[in-house]
Each structure stands twice: as C-alpha cells, then as structure tokens.
Structure 1
Amino acid sequence: MTISPASLSQRIADGIVDLIRADGLAPGDAIASSRELARRFEVTTPTVREALRRLEATDVIRFRHGSGTYVGDGMRRRLMANPHVGTTDLASVLELVEARRTLEPPIAAAAALHRTDDHLAALERASENALRPQRADERPDEHFHIALAAATGNPLLRETVEALLQVRRVDQIAIRHGYDDRERDHREHVEILEALRDADPVAAADLTRSHLDSIHAALAARADEATS
C-alpha cells in the first residue's frame, strides 16, 4: 500500500515527538537538524520539513531563524488549540467571556485552597501585565488567568484555560482592547490575588465572577454605542 505524503509527514511528526520524549528534551532545548532527522527516519529532507511545520502549528517545535529548531511549550500540552484562527465579531467575543464566567470562578475557588507561595509569586508578576497592552510574544505563564488556573495545582485545569484562550486568541485580544481601563483591570486582578493569599475560596470565586461580569458589561456597552 502506498503511503500518502500527508500521512507520511504525520508519521514522521509523531516520530519526532517520540524522539523528543526519549531524549528528555524540554521547551527551549535544541533538536536535531532536518538533514539529521531525514537520515534517521530514512526519508527526504522536504518530508521532514513538512513534519516539522505540522509540529510548529501546535507549538511543539519552534524555528529560530539562523539558529535551529527547538522544543516549544506545546510539547507539554495535552489540549491543543486550533492554529488556524479566523476573524471575530462581537457575538464570538461575548461567547468567550460567557464561557469564562462559567469556568473561572470555581477555578479561582480551587486556587484559593491549593495555591503555594510560588503560585502567589507568579500571580503577582502576572497581575502587573494588566497595566500594559498585550504583547504578541507574551508567554502563557505571564497571563494572569492562566496563572490563576495553575494555582489550583491541577495541570489539566491550567491547560484547559490556556487552550481556550489560545484557540480564541483573536477574541481574547478583542477583549483586551475592549476592556481597556488598565488600572481597573489591574486592581481587579490584585483583589483576586489577595483572596488567594487569604485562602478564601468564596471571595476568590465572587471577585473572579465580578471581574468577568465587568468585562462583559463593558464590551456590551461599547457595542451599543457603536450601533446607536
């Protein structure tokens, strides 16, 4: 049976992931060159490059121009975001906020019960990001709400929030621009952080819900202004 180029490149991509795991490589570590991988898998270099492009789409590997190929943060994830993000509209943005209003308050409550000093330090650093526009290269561990989910101590909850925000990245950027009172955003994050410091799950959930309610109301108000 003839193997199609697409299925062959997928098999090579799976093989590269197996190599990364077998070699114990972590995000930021360099992997073998395309030529070396082609020799190892006994395929052509273009086939390896196609496999690497598949892995790049989900951040399992990252290309650095003039430097080489490196393991990306996606290697750690079990929930992968769709890399082909399209355009957005108000309905899509509000849908994301509504989903977060359902998911994040109980996550904040769990974080208040399970957070460590390291989690609190990470949240304090992440809270400062509200005071500036979001960068295109901002890392997941710098996002306050991802750090909040990480504070539960449950890696799958962290990955769930991270995947949601990545798969709806365009909507999340629209939220960031629409809820542009940086001082207020920062203050609300700090209030959530203080509830975690106090190990108060009720306050943590209530403050997170109120924060997301405020975002929803601000976006809806802007939409009304645009249509009036």
Structure 2
Amino acid sequence: MMVVRPSLSGVLTEQVLGLISDSGLQPGDRLPTTRELAQRFSVTTPTLREALRRLEATGAIEMRHGSGLYVGADIERIVLPNPNMRSMPGGQLLDLLDARILIEPPLAGLAAGRPGAEELRAVLGEAARHLSGQDAELHEANMTFHRVSARLAGNSVLEEVVDSLLSVHAPEQREILRIYDDRRRDYDEHLTILEAIEAGDARAAEELMRAHLIDVKTVVQQRLM
C-alpha cells in the first residue's frame, strides 16, 4: 500500500490554520507578516507564499497589498464555490435552475416565521428602486433576496450551497434575468414569498418559492429552444 505524504505546502497550510485557531483569531484580524511566519515555520518566504495563495483562494486569509495578511471572512466555510468555473451551456443552465428548485423552496418554508424577515423586506425595497434602472443593481438585489431567504432557514451548510450556486454562476444568473425579462413579475413573486414568510406560513412559502423558480425555468427553457 502506497503512503501519500503531504506536500510541504499542504503542511504549511495546516500550520497557518492551526496558528489562527490556537490564537483565537477572527475574520478581519491581522496575522504576522510573511517574513515572521516563514521564520516561525522554518521555511523560505517563496515556499510560504505558495501556502498562503492556497489559503487565499479558499477565503481563509486575505492578502492586502501594502497592508499585510488578515484572517478571511470564509475561514470557517464548508462549501466553497469553484473559482475556475467557466460559462455554462444552455443545458447546464437548466440544471442550475433544477438544483435551485430542489434546494430553495424547503429553505423558504423553514424561514417562515423565523426572525429576520424585515431584512428581506428591506432587500425588496432596494429591488423596487431598481425596477426601471440598471440590470446590475436589480440583479444584485434579487440574488440577495434568495441568499437571505436561505440564511433565515437556519442551516448554515445549505445556506453556503445556495450562496455558492449564486456566486460561482453569477454570469449565468444575470443571463437568466435577461432571458426571463419580466422585472415586475419577478418582483411581485418575490413579494408574495416574503408575505408568506412574514405570516409564518411554511407551506405557502415553500410552494410559492417553488412556483417562482419553475416559472423562471419554464421561460428560460422556452427562450433557449
């Protein structure tokens, strides 16, 4: 049986993570300098930088030019979007919507009656201000609505799954908005979902989210044919 030894970069990655954990550092806290870390772990600076780049790619640390190293916002994240994902063909675009149809409606149901619905109300207020404006602002508000809905459900892993789908496929999500091309209907459907969540009606929230996403998929599928 062949034993696979961890690379030096892999070992250093674990050591840096261990340092963050043992020191009780939180996202935004500053780390020692690259030189200090290299001395601490008895490696050359270029070798250490390779490990730091791996950690930066996953959001565990943030390397700020001219400022230093900081603990990243995603240090505790479990599900990570693929930063190398390329554009998706039409078939995969529909698969993306199918995945959202499976995941998001139950989360909307779980969000019903839980604290935080006022944040969704504020997000829809932002969307309303951009209904006749630029696509980018409206798209961001719409995606925020879905992210917050998932977060309110209280399952951090599924929240990260939804966030990853929306983040790594952002160009595809914007294409969905362009193809769907019905800002008012999109907004109105979001509003009915919010009202069900505010009312604590889990069944209605789930069914309305499912109907909304199926509606979007149907329009996209027809436009792609």
- TM class by shorter-chain length? 0.7 to 0.9
Deviation, 1:23, is 2.3
Gaps of 5+ in 2: none
Q: Secondary structure in 2 aligned to 1:75?
A: coil
Deviation, 1:216, is 0.8
Residues 100-134 of structure 1 show CA distances to partners (whole Å, capped at 9, x for unaligned) of 11111111111114x11xx2133223334543544
1:31 is aligned to: 31
1:192 is aligned to: 193
Residues 25-78 of structure 1 show CA distances to partners (whole Å, capped at 9, x for unaligned) of 222222222111111111111111111111111111222222222222221211
TM normalised by structure 2 equals 0.83
Q: Secondary structure in 2 aligned to 1:123?
A: helix
**Conserved? CA contact 1:129–1:143, under 8 Å:** no
In structure 2, how many angstroms separate the alpha carbons of the residues matched to 1:129 and 1:219? 25
In structure 1, how many angstroms separate the alpha carbons of the residues matched to 2:64 and 2:178? 30
RMSD (Å), alpha carbons: 2.5
**Conserved? CA contact 1:81–1:163, under 8 Å:** yes
In structure 1, how many angstroms separate the alpha carbons of the residues matched to 2:62 and 2:101? 33
1:127 is aligned to: 124
**Conserved? CA contact 1:123–1:144, under 8 Å:** yes
In structure 2, what residue type is equivalent to 1:190? L
Q: Secondary structure in 2 aligned to 1:70?
A: strand
In structure 2, how many angstroms separate the alpha carbons of the residues matched to 1:129 and 1:176? 17
Relative to structure 1, is the Cα distance of residues 11 and 175 closer, same or farther in structure 2, using a 3 angstrom cutoff? farther
1:40 is aligned to: 40
In structure 1, how many angstroms separate the alpha carbons of the residues matched to 2:90 and 2:211? 20
In structure 2, what residue type is equivalent to 1:159? E
Q: Secondary structure in 1 aligned to 2:7?
A: helix
Percent identity over paired residues: 42
Relative to structure 1, is the Cα distance of residues 156 and 177 closer, same or farther in structure 2, using a 3 angstrom cutoff? same
Relative to structure 1, is the Cα distance of residues 174 and 25 closer, same or farther in structure 2, using a 3 angstrom cutoff? farther
1:110 is aligned to: 110
Residues paired across the two proteins, number: 214
Deviation, 1:174, is 2.8
2:97 is aligned to: 97
1:71 is aligned to: 71
2:50 is aligned to: 50
**Deviating runs (4+, > 4 A) in structure 1?**
none
Q: Secondary structure in 2 aligned to 1:73?
A: coil
**Conserved? CA contact 1:146–1:162, under 8 Å:** yes
Deviation, 1:98, is 0.8
2:145 is aligned to: 144
> Map of 1:157-176 to 2, 5 A cutoff?
157-176=158-177
1:203 is aligned to: 204
Gaps of 5+ in 1: none
Deviation, 1:91, is 1.0
- Answer with 214-223 or 178-187: which moved more: 178-187
Relative to structure 1, is the Cα distance of residues 112 and 86 closer, same or farther in structure 2, using a 3 angstrom cutoff? same
**Conserved? CA contact 1:128–1:186, under 8 Å:** no
TM normalised by structure 1 equals 0.82
In structure 2, what residue type is equivalent to 1:32? P
Deviation, 1:84, is 1.4
2:19 is aligned to: 19
**Conserved? CA contact 1:146–1:161, under 8 Å:** yes
In structure 2, what residue type is equivalent to 1:217? T
